[in-house]
Amino acid sequence: MNQVSKRLVGKRVLITGGGRGLGRALVRACAKHGAKVAFSYVRNDAAAEETRVELEALGATTLAFRARVSDGAETDSMVRQLEESWGGIDVLVNNAAVSQNLPIALMEQEDFEHVLRVNVTGVYVTSRAVLRGMIRRKSGVIVNIGSLAGMRLIEAPVHYAASKAAVVGLTQSMAKEVARHRIRVVCLAPGLLEDGLGKNLPEHRLVDYLRHCALGRVGTFEEVAEACVFLASDDASYVSGTTLVMDGGV
């Protein structure tokens, strides 16, 4: 692997939704910084295998699990296997999320509940499973991936915005509760990025975003991943309970 500043050497990291997109960038960055990295995914076996093979070619220790973050049994099984294989999890990155570009008038209740089930219940279920070991070891970091949509008055699907606002609240509450166990909890809230929701926006909405963005561009997956590495590392040992908004200055 390339010789770079390795902030996560010796750390055991679990990233949810790590098979592609931002998740893959997070997996790659954590591995680059010296961590053992496990990741979960839901459907795309080919993308997950591509991610795993890529990292193994770089010399990284990697495990992949097909598990739904909102399913307690699947998540508990994944965490249990990691605890047995690696002896523990030092860092959890709650990245798995979904969205739909639907106006509220056309949004079915199931649409709303599905997004909250993955984006909010998934954070709770996975954090609960991982925290049991972290509390025993009196050490750990949880990084929740939020969104600018949960922080600012911007045009975004209401169920997605609601879910990401809830992640901010979860971050604050968890950070206060588990601090006595020497566990940190932080939230990283990106603005529009090069792919995903940003790529699927109508042209007029992207133009409007860029007009209000001080840096005049969308962010990259790699920029967000490097910020996540910092928050997960010992270099951020006095950072907890807060949300870092990473939006280019909107």
pLDDT at 193 over 80: yes
Residues 18, 26 contacting (CB under 8 angstroms):
yes
CA distance 45 to 65: 10
Kindly give, in sequence order, each residue whose CB lies less than 8 Å from that of residue 136, ignoring residues fewer than 6 positions away: none
Residues 76, 124 contacting (CB under 8 angstroms):
no
Domain parsing of the chain, residue ranges: 12-193+220-231
The pLDDT assigned to 4 comes to: 57
Once rounded to an integer, what is the mean pLDDT over residues 154-162?
A: 91
The pLDDT assigned to 2 comes to: 46
pLDDT at 74 over 90: yes
The pLDDT assigned to 199 comes to: 63
pLDDT at 194 over 50: yes
Categorize the per-residue pLDDT at 197 as very low, low, confident or very high, splitting at 50, 70 and 90. Answer: low
Instruction: Say whether 96 sits in a helix, a strand or coil.
Output: coil
pLDDT at 196 over 70: no
What is 12-193+220-231's CATH topology? Rossmann fold (3.40.50)
Kindly give, in sequence order, each residue whose CB lies less than 8 Å from that of residue 137, ignoring residues fewer than 6 positions away: 88
**0.85 exceeded by pTM:** yes
Residues 243, 186 contacting (CB under 8 angstroms):
yes
Helix (H) / strand (E) element for 200: namely helix 197-200
- Active centre residues (catalytic): 160
Alpha-helical regions (H) of 63-150:
72-86, 109-116, 122-137
Instruction: Say whether 95 sits in a helix, a strand or coil.
Output: coil
Six token digits for residue 182: 């020497």
Categorize the per-residue pLDDT at 59 as very low, low, confident or very high, splitting at 50, 70 and 90. Answer: confident
